[in-house]
Every structure is written in structure tokens, then in C-alpha cells.
């Protein structure tokens, strides 16, 4: 297709991350002509700087740990050694393979993929400063659209006064281009990103210290999960400092490493030294420099305001999805938002997205997977709640798998029995939460899920048992 015939599209999607390409592919399936614009290669943060490369690294770490326990399984084998450059190379090969997979889907769906920096001039005129494959300027192009979806994602951010130098003080972006492990690492922030890297480097033999401002690690998770997580990490030799206080501007970095004075709230600080410090304190939405000021779209605290069903901004024909609208900052959430936006554009029925029915997954060891409200959130919201909790120790497949730590906790409405939240910690729980997601979509009661047949012996039985435990009727615990 030549430039002339493709300058006008039914839909232009700005940002080719998970949300952006999901929207583009669905729009193409519905017969729209679609342009998908990104300054980087297709795949966005998730594929290039987030989910995929981190999980590739963690997969190697998990296998390393399994091999360290091989003797328990009746397997004779020498001491395994991680080969960091090989782990990094595998990580990069996986990203490359999946990027190529997306490019073939772009062709299959006849989406026009344009590399360049896009700027809105109103909702339906998009100026693109084109870039070649190496990211060098390659001219300009103006696209017009009937509708536009903005999906420009987010970037790493640091704390005020703490500037990543890429060597001593790093963000996840730096780690995901690294092929070595520091001897010691301070991780600032015990959210999913910080905890996953802490888990990975601990397996690689790095001495890891995690600093968290909040009173608990994984502070968005249910308190019992967070407690179990802290216990498991501590047992693995990872130092955890919750209620941590330090002055980001006073962190020093030189050839000897990183130094900071840190202590628990109300306690005297002590010096902490490490080879490297990872800042994992959240991300910033990419809403600056994209031309939103040329539209009526409302931006509050860097986030674009949208309708929770259609993803429409205040500017007609302009939609926004993914990290730039805030919420959960998760790839699968962005994909659903993108699909909702396209459905709305196509005139299909759309439902308000219920963010309490979006699963969350953390690939530490043990893993965490959760959906819905925590117990504290139920109590805060005045919802009468009853809980069922069953440990993996009671589940035969966990014994067989040799990893019996963790549990399932099911929260149900005390009167209606409707499931309010499911909180899992343990081996492979990220694969178990899909059932909970389906159950919550169907507004199932705990008793109903307990009545579903879970095959034996599987880890998934823990959800069956915990839902039955809500009524005091678990069989194996």
C-alpha cells in the first residue's frame, strides 16, 4: 500500500503495546482499516521491558531452584550454575521470537504498522515523525482517522533526588538489558516488579535487601498473603525492611558501589551498602508530548479521564486505554480496555469494566495471584465477609510437586455468598487464578465454585477446597 492510499484510516492506534495491538487486531477483524503507530518496535513495555523478559529470566531461576532440589525427587545431578549471559540471551531470543509473531499477526490482519513519534492535532489528525528501524529520523507523515485510540503506555520513574545512572542506580529497563548479576543489590519498592527482581537475583546468588515504605511487602495484596510472602522471602535469605525510611537524595554511588542510610520508621538509620540499587517505585504515564492539549480530553495528575465502558475521552472520536488511564497498569487489562474501545467504536454492546474482576499475577517464588477485594478492603467498604482458607499442604499435588508453601484464601459476602476476592500464594498460582476470574465474571457464589469438579490430583483443588471452606465444608482440610 502506498503512502497516499493509506493516509486515511478508519482507526489509528497510537502505541503498539499489548492494549494497542489488541485494539488494532480486533478492529481489523471487524473490517476497519487500521494504522498502528509506535516509536519503538511492536510489543510495548510488556514485551520489551516488562512481563515477557522478566518472566523469561524468572523461568530460568525457577528451573535452577528445582534442579537444586533434584535429589529430593530421586534424580542424581551435579550442582547447577546459572550462566547469566546465556539466561539473558534466551530472554532476548524469546522477546525477538514474540516480536516476529506479532509482526506476522500485523500482516495477517492487514494492519499498517508505522514506526514513528505520533502527535495528536485534534482527535483525528495525527502527525508522525517517522523513524527507521534503527530509530533514526525518516521523514514525516500525516494520518487522518475516523477514530483514534491513544495507548502510549508508561515509563519507569524514580524517587525525587534519586537519579538512575544505569550502572549503580538502575531501573528495570537497565536490568532487562543486563547480562550479569551484582554481588549485592538493594531493591527499593516491594511491589510486583521489585519483588520479582529480588526473587530472581536471590536465586542467582546475589545478596538482596528489599526496602519498602509501607508496613508490608506487596502492599496491594491481602495482608495474609503479604505476611506469607515476607516469611517465604526471609526464609530464602532475602533481607526485608518494611516501614523503611531513607533520603533518596542522600544515596551515594561511586566505584565502590551504593551507600545509603536506612532504618525502619522511628528507628535509627544504619548504613546499607550494595553493588547496585534498583529503583522499583512505580511508573509514569506517557501523556506528555502526545498532543493531548490540542483536544478536549481531560488529563488529571498525568492520567487521561475516560468513560469506564467505552474508553472515550471528553474529545469526540478520541479514546484512551492502558497505563495512561491509570488503574491496574497491567497488560491484560490494557488489552481488554482496547477491545472495549473498539467494540464501542464499532457500535457493539460494551459493559463497564469492573476492575475488581481483573486478576493480578506476581511471578516471584512463591508466586502470588489474586483477584477482587482484599479482606481489609471489604472491611473498609463495610462489606460483611466470610473467609475460607486452605493451605497447599492439604493438596496432594502440592506434596507431589514438592512445594507445599502458601494457601488459597476465598472471601465471600457473608449474606449472599458471592465471591468478593480470591487470594493465592504458592507454586504455579498464576495459572490457577483464571478460574477465579471466570467465576467472578459469572458472579458465582463460593458454594457454586466449590461444587465445580476440580480434577484430582491438581493444584487447582486448592480453590475448590477453599471455596468449600467458606461454609466449613472442605473435604481435605
* The one segment of 33-41, 300-308, 312-320, 356-364 that binds a copy of itself by CB under 8 A: 356-364
Nearest distance from C-beta of residue 87 to a copy of itself, angstroms:
3
Q: CB–CB of 170/187 below 8 Å? A: no
Q: CB–CB of 61/83 below 8 Å? A: no
Measured from the CB atom, the residue of 296 and 473 that comes closer to a copy of itself is 473
Q: CB–CB of 84/180 below 8 Å? A: yes
User: Which of 3, 100, 101, 205 is the binder for a copy of itself (CB under 8 A)?
Assistant: 101
User: Which of 3, 83, 135, 161 is the binder for a copy of itself (CB under 8 A)?
Assistant: 83
Residue 445 carries which DSSP code? B
- Kindly identify the residues of this chain, within the stretch 404-443, that bind a copy of itself according to CB under 8 A: 428, 430-435, 437-439, 441-442
Please enumerate in sequence order all residues whose Cβ is within 8 A of that of 81, keeping only pairs 6 or more positions apart, or say none.
Answer: none
Measure the CA dihedral 312/314/316/320, to 10°.
Answer: -40
Nearest distance from C-beta of residue 108 to a copy of itself, angstroms:
9
How many CB atoms neighbour CB 163 within 10 A?
A: 14
Q: CB–CB of 106/36 below 8 Å? A: yes
Measured from the CB atom, the residue of 212 and 465 that comes closer to a copy of itself is 465
Residue 448 within binding range of a copy of itself, rule CB under 8 A: yes
User: Which of 14, 20, 25, 260 is the binder for a copy of itself (CB under 8 A)?
Assistant: 25
Residue 42 within binding range of a copy of itself, rule CB under 8 A: no
> In 189-322, which ranges are E strands?
207-211, 239-241, 244-245, 252-254, 257-264, 270-274, 276-279, 283-285, 299-300, 303-304, 318-320
How many residues make contact with a copy of itself (CB under 8 A)? 96
Measured from the CB atom, the residue of 67 and 414 that comes closer to a copy of itself is 67
User: Which of 119, 163, 178, 476 is the binder for a copy of itself (CB under 8 A)?
Assistant: 476
User: Which of 70, 183, 250, 298 is the binder for a copy of itself (CB under 8 A)?
Assistant: 70
- Kindly identify the residues of this chain, within the stretch 219-278, that bind a copy of itself according to CB under 8 A: none
Measured from the CB atom, the residue of 73 and 376 that comes closer to a copy of itself is 73
Residue 460 within binding range of a copy of itself, rule CB under 8 A: yes
Measured from the CB atom, the residue of 74 and 266 that comes closer to a copy of itself is 74
User: Which of 6, 10, 92, 94 is the binder for a copy of itself (CB under 8 A)?
Assistant: 94
Cis amide prior to 227 (ω within 30 degrees): no
Measured from the CB atom, the residue of 268 and 453 that comes closer to a copy of itself is 453
Burial class (CB in 10 A: 0-12, 13-18, 19+), 249: exposed
Burial class (CB in 10 A: 0-12, 13-18, 19+), 257: middle
User: Which of 7, 10, 55, 112 is the binder for a copy of itself (CB under 8 A)?
Assistant: 55
User: Which of 158, 464, 465, 466 is the binder for a copy of itself (CB under 8 A)?
Assistant: 464
Angle between helix axes 223-235 and 192-203 (nearest 10 degrees) is: 20
Residue 475 within binding range of a copy of itself, rule CB under 8 A: yes
The contact pattern for a copy of itself, residues 334-353, with x = CB under 8 A and - = no contact, is -xx--x--------------
User: Which of 330, 378, 387, 412 is the binder for a copy of itself (CB under 8 A)?
Assistant: 330
User: Which of 82, 248, 269, 282 is the binder for a copy of itself (CB under 8 A)?
Assistant: 82
Measured from the CB atom, the residue of 298 and 442 that comes closer to a copy of itself is 442
The contact pattern for a copy of itself, residues 286-325, with x = CB under 8 A and - = no contact, is ----------------------------------------
Nearest distance from C-beta of residue 257 to a copy of itself, angstroms:
26
Burial class (CB in 10 A: 0-12, 13-18, 19+), 322: buried
Please count the CA atoms within 13 angstroms of the CA of 382 that sit on its side-chain side: 0
CA angle 55, 374, 329 (to 5 degrees): 40
Q: Which residue has the cell 477482587?
A: 372
- Kindly identify the residues of this chain, within the stretch 390-409, that bind a copy of itself according to CB under 8 A: 394, 396-397, 399-402
Q: Which of 336, 351, 423, 456 is catalytic?
A: 456
Q: CB–CB of 315/225 below 8 Å? A: no
**428 is known as an active-site residue:** no
Q: CB–CB of 185/201 below 8 Å? A: yes
CA angle 446, 449, 453 (to 5 degrees): 150
Q: Hey, which residues are catalytic here?
A: 456
Amino acid at each position: 500500500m502506498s503512502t497516499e492510499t493509506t493516509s486515511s484510516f478508519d482507526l489509528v492506534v497510537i502505541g503498539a503495546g499489548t492494549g494497542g495491538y489488541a485494539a488494532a487486531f480486533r478492529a481489523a477483524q471487524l473490517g476497519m482499516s487500521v494504522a498502528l503507530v509506535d516509536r519503538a518496535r511492536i510489543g510495548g513495555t510488556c514485551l520489551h521491558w516488562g512481563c515477557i523478559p522478566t518472566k523469561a529470566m524468572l523461568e530460568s531461576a525457577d528451573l535452577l531452584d528445582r534442579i537444586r532440589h533434584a535429589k529430593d525427587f530421586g534424580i542424581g545431578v551435579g550442582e547447577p550454575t546459572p550462566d547469566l549471559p546465556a539466561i539473558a540471551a534466551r530472554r532476548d531470543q524469546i522477546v525477538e521470537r514474540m516480536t516476529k509473531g506479532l509482526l506476522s499477526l500485523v500482516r495477517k490482519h492487514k494492519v499498517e504498522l508505522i514506526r514513528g513519534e505520533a502527535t495528536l492535532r485534534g482527535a483525528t489528525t495525527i502527525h508522525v515523525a517517522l523513524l527507521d528501524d534503527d530509530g533514526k529520523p525518516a521523514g514525516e507523515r500525516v494520518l487522518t482517522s475516523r477514530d483514534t485510540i491513544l495507548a502510549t503506555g508508561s515509563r519507569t520513574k524514580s524517587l525525587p533526588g534519586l537519579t538512575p545512572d544505569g550502572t549503580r542506580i538502575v531501573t528495570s529497563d537497565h536490568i532487562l538489558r543486563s547480562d550479569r548479576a551484582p554481588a549485592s543489590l538493594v531493591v527499593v519498592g516491594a511491589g510486583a516488579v521489585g519483588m520479582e527482581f529480588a526473587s530472581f537475583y536471590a536465586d542467582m546468588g546475589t545478596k538482596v535487601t528489599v526496602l519498602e515504605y509501607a508496613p508490608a511487602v506487596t502492599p496491594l495484596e491481602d495482608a495474609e498473603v503479604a505476611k506469607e510472602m515476607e516469611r517465604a522471602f526471609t526464609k530464602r535469605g532475602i533481607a526485608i525492611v518494611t516501614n523503611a525510611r531513607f533520603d533518596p537524595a542522600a544515596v551515594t554511588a561511586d566505584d565502590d558501589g551504593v551507600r545509603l542510610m536506612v532504618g525502619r520508621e522511628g528507628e535509627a538509620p544504619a548504613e546499607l551498602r550494595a553493588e547496585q540499587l534498583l529503583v522499583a517505585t512505580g511508573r509514569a504515564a506517557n501523556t506528555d508530548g502526545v498532543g493531548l492539549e490540542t483536544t478536549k480530553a481531560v488529563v488529571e495528575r498525568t492520567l487521561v479521564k475516560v468513560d469506564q465502558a467505552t474508553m472515550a475521552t471528553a474529545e469526540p472520536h478520541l479514546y484512551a486505554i492502558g497505563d495512561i488511564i491509570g488503574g491496574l497498569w497491567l497488560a491484560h487489562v490494557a488489552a481488554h480496555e482496547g477491545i472495549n474501545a473498539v467494540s464501542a467504536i464499532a457500535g457493539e454492546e460494551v459493559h463497564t469494566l469492573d476492575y475488581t474482576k481483573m486478576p493480578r499475577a506476581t511471578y516471584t517464588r512463591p508466586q502470588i495471584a489474586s483477584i477482587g477485594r482484599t479482606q481489609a478492603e471489604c472491611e473498609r467498604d463495610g462489606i460483611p465477609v466470610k473467609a475460607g482458607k486452605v493451605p497447599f499442604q492439604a493438596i496432594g499435588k502440592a506434596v507431589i510437586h514438592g512445594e507445599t508453601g502458601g494457601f488459597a484464601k476465598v472471601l465471600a459476602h457473608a449474606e449472599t455468598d458471592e465471591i468478593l476476592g480470591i487470594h493465592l500464594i504458592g507454586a504455579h498460582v498464576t495459572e490457577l487464578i483464571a478460574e477465579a476470574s471466570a467465576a467472578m465474571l459469572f458472579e458465582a457464589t463460593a458454594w457454586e465454585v466449590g461444587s465445580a469438579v476440580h480434577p484430582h490430583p491438581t493444584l487447582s483443588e486448592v480453590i475448590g477446597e477453599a471455596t468449600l471452606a467458606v461454609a466449613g465444608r472442605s473435604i481435605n482440610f
